[in-house]
């Protein structure tokens, strides 16, 4: 199985398409990895509004394919973005 993680100490976001999916995705992350859930940055799960607002990931590392599958089983489409810090300019 493909195993990808969010880049530690990088930038990223999990985008959902409905506001009511934010809390559902948070619960799924907690189910998948309660340890990593404690590192989930505030605002890291956001509704896609046409602009990519990325958060600093700190120590947050999550198995992306596992999250996509778990959300898909609950009919919650998500889009995950992760970038190393050297690719971000302000």
DSSP string for 12-70: EEEEESSTTHHHHHHHHHHHH-HHHHTT--TT-EEE--SS---EE-TT---BHHHHHHH
- The two three-digit tokens of residue 7, written as one number: 């880049």
List the chain domain ranges. Answer: 11-87
Distance between CA 79 and CA 64 in Å, rounded? 10
DSSP label at residue 10: S
Query: What pLDDT, on a 0 to 100 scale, did the predictor assign at position 72?
Result: 95
Query: What pLDDT, on a 0 to 100 scale, did the predictor assign at position 3?
Result: 43
pTM above 0.75, yes or no: yes
| One pLDDT digit (tens) per residue for the chain, 90 residues | 344 555 556 788 999 999 999 999 999 999 999 998 998 988 999 999 888 788 888 777 888 889 999 999 999 999 988 876 666 555
Is 19:76 a contact under the CB 8 Å cutoff?
A: no
């Amino acid at each position: 199985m493909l195993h990808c993680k969010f880049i530690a100490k990088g930038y990223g976001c999990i985008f959902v398409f409905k506001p009511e999916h934010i809390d559902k995705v948070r619960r799924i992350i907690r189910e998948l990895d309660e340890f990593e859930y404690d590192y989930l940055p505030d605002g890291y799960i956001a509704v896609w509004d046409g602009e990519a607002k990325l958060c600093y990931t700190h120590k947050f590392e999550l198995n992306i394919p596992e999250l996509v599958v778990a959300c898909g089983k609950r009919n919650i489409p998500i889009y995950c973005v992760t970038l190393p810090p050297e690719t971000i300019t302000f």
